[in-house]
Structure 1
Amino acid sequence: MADRVAGVPGRLMALPGTLLPPTIFAPVALAADWAWQPLDWLAGPGAGDLEIAADEIVTRWPARELGHRGPGHRVLVGHSAGGVVALQVAAALGARLDGLVLVDTGASAVDHGDPDLPQRLLAQWGEAFIDAFLLRCVGREALDRHGDALRRYTLATGPERAHRAMTSLRGLDLTPRLGEIRCPTLIVHGQQDPARSLRHARALASGIADARLETLDAGHTPMLERPDALAACLDDFLSELG
């Protein structure tokens, strides 16, 4: 890994996927001069609407409520639907954002691995649906380790906000806006992701200037499945921000 310049700390504002708690980023260890600042966008204004969530972050950036205090880099990390929010924020902020990390997400829902998920969520909401959803999101090993916390968050959030987020995502195509992103960008994709294919990641990499694409031996949520491998990717990327 590259040597990091000491004395230039930063925060990573982290946006999780739909129905996943902000704590999913905690297993990924960061160097001492960096800190996670997770944001539960699904619980915020817009009740799950991805465009409203993005507008709220842009409006308040870099307000203290969002966790940025004092000097340091401001990096945005978005996973899955949180990545769709992050893409909109990055396009709007331009050079005001120091870095962008996109994890298992895409600019549009074309060829999404589960196109009927919003309808199924409303029709089947309950413990069986939640367990199947979480298993698809994080895989068996991670679900065995973190399942209680994941289920508590999912049940507390409820189906209405999740449904709005899922339908909002499927109505967006951010491909034309990728060229508006001006900051260094890292794209991370799990090779066994059942929801987003490598095609989505490659489209992001080709649409965002100088973006770097890294693939991991993981599914949809490498923060819980391969935290050490993701930490290594982040360390290299963050060290190059100067």
Structure 2
Amino acid sequence: MVHGVFRFEDFELDPARFQLTRAGRPVRVEPRAFDLLRLLVAHHDRVVTKQEILEHVWGTEYVSDAALTTALRTVRRAVGDTGADQRVIRTAHGRGYQLVAPVRVVGPAGDDARHAPPRIVASPAIADDARPSAAAQEIRYCAAADGARIAYATVGEGPVLMKAANWITHLDLEWDSPVWSHWVRGLARGRTLVRYDERGCGMSDWTVPGFSFEDWVTDLETVVAAAGLERFPLLGVSQGAAVAIDYAARHPEQVSSLILAGGYVLGRMKRARDDAERAEAALDIDLARVGWGREDPTFMRVFASQFLPRGSQQEWDEFTTFQRRTTSDENAVRFLEEFARIDVTAQAARVRCPTLILHSRDDGRVPVEQARALASLIPRSRLVLLDSASHLIGEGEPAWDDFLAHIDDFLSDPSHS
């Protein structure tokens, strides 16, 4: 199979970066649909049969016609095609489908043993300042019990730190994100960082059978098994802290220590004390419902200003662009609805490993009272309040160096192994 970067019309498809662009601008495509498009582009010289599609995209011959139709419709919408027009993708009735737009291949050619992307490995490199880089990252896929494909990555060298997934991530794109780039590099320096994209987000499947808190915990269990981890420290950030707490309570034999950053016991709707706070929690969801898919960034800046309260207008705009590339507007609403219902009160009380709780003193997204609640519930916990208003601390803040130093000190304590 020929591989490289594929160009057709004003589109460019880069399989290695898992990216589709149009006239240089990213086009959002959920993973299953991306795999289908990649298969059709790579075999543009012929009709690709339904059996081939099922084998390479789903890994099985038993997929409903509705699932295939949905994926094909998503691909056609991404490339500006329709079932009636068929300018780019032609249906060969009774046979399969063919990408009929002229295709040019840019880059090296060769044979690819498999089409489905269980593993993406970039050539090794060392950053100028010796920090882990995107080029040194290895991305793999594993399948949850319900068939959802979860993308996970390892980067760095040394003792393992496992990070539970949270919202607004993308294993590849976050290396250039104003929110996550310094987190990934800082957490992976001197250790092996294992992280993954939540179902419905980033490089994991966007269309999934389940979308519940229980599914998130199961996905963490799936990644731990796929990565071959036995005993390790576990980090949870924002809503990922609740997932990490639940996992630590279920698997005390595996979690040596727990780090919670910007976490909470109760979601916004659960902790609402009156009608005004319930209305505020509902507004949070409505903002995503109205604003996520719009070109006008006004609505989305509300989220950006909460995550980066001291950020510049440019940083807010970059964050807004990154948000849209991590998930769909439908999934953004589903995430927020599920976050609002989180309650890990009982699970937190069952955690027995040493726990470090880090929280910005003036966090505008998750109130500091939630950090204090965690510290009161988890028996062997220590609370550290950082001098910041950011939900996710920025690289330029003085609190960032403190944040990393507390983690380094905590993980180097021999009693926490």
**What is residue 5 of structure 1 aligned with on the other side?**
none
* Contact map agreement 2:308 2:316 (CA 8 A) in 1: no
Q: Match of 1:49, as an amino acid? A: S
C-alpha deviation, 1:195, in angstroms: 1.9
Distance in 2 (alpha carbons) for counterparts of 1:188 and 1:145: 24
- Structure 1 residues 12-43: Cα deviation after superposition (integer angstroms, max 9, x where no partner): 22245422445345414258531322221142
1:76 to 227, 230, 234: 234
Matched residue, 2:392: 221
Structure 1 pair 209/180, CA: closer, same or farther in 2 (3 Å)? same
Comparing 194-203 with 79-88, greater Cα deviation is found at 79-88
- Contact between 1:46 and 1:53, CA under 8 Å: does it hold in 2? no
In the other structure, the counterpart of 1:93 is 251
**Conserved? CA contact 1:83–1:102, under 8 Å:** yes
Aligned to 1:190: 360
Structure 2: 5+ residue runs without aligned partners?
1-156
Secondary structure of the corresponding residue to residue 41 of structure 1: coil
Q: Which has the higher contact order (CA 8 A, sep 6+)?
A: 1
Conserved? CA contact 1:134–1:143, under 8 Å: no
Letter matched to residue 232 of structure 1? A
CA distance in 2, matches of 1:187, 1:208: 10
Distance change >3 Å, CA 205–CA 88, structure 1 → 2:
same
Residue of structure 2 equivalent to 1:40: 197
Higher helix share: 1
2:265 aligned partner: 107
| Structure 2 counterpart SS, 1:169 | helix
Q: What is the identity, as a one-letter code, of the residue corresponding to 1:222?
A: I
Distance of 2:243 and 2:312 partners within structure 1:
25
- The 1:195/1:47 distance shift into structure 2, 3 A limit, reads farther
TM-score by length of 2: 0.49
Change (3 A) 1:199 1:111: farther
Q: 1:84 to 1:46 in 2, by over 3 A?
A: farther
Q: Deviations 1:54-90 (Å, cap 9, x if unpaired)?
A: 11212442322xxx56x8x622211112222222222
Q: Residue 123 of structure 1 corresponds to which residue in structure 2? A: 290
Please give the secondary structure, in 2, of the residue aligned with 1:13: strand
Amino acid at match of 1:235: D
1:48 shift after superposition: 4.8
Which of 49, 71, 78 aligns to 2:212? It is 49
Over 3 Å counting, the alpha-carbon distance change for 1:96 and 1:21 in structure 2 is same
The percent identity for this pair of structures is: 24
Q: 1:153 to 1:220 in 2, by over 3 A?
A: same
- CA offsets, 1:111-149, max 9 Å, x none? 49751211331133332222221121122337745853x
User: CA offset at residue 223 of structure 1?
Assistant: 5.4
Alignment counterpart, residue 375 of structure 2, candidates 182, 205, 209: 205
What is the CA deviation profile of residues 192-233 of structure 1, one whole-angstrom value per residue up to 9, with x for unaligned ones?
A: 111211210011111111111111011211255542121011
SS in 2 for 1:196: coil
Partner of 1:151: 320
Code of the aligned partner of 2:251: L
* RMSD of aligned Cα (Å): 2.8
Which structure shows the higher strand fraction?
Answer: 2
Matched, 1:27 2:182: yes
Q: Following the alignment from structure 2 to structure 1, what is the Cα–Cα distance between the partners of residues 299 and 169?
A: 14
Q: Determine if the alignment matches structure 1 residue 238 to structure 2 residue 411.
A: yes
**TM-score normalized by structure 1?**
0.81
Count of residues paired in the alignment:
229
* Bigger CA radius of gyration: 2
Equivalent residues of 2:291, 2:300 under 8 A apart = no
Q: Is the 8 A contact 1:94 1:180 kept in 2?
A: no
The 8 Å contact of residues 47 and 161 in structure 1, kept in 2 or not, is answered as no
CA change 1:52–1:188 in 2 (3 A) is same
Aligned to 1:10: 159
Compared CA separation, residues 142 and 93, structure 1 to 2 (3 A): farther
**Which segment is superposed worse, 178-187 or 33-42?**
33-42
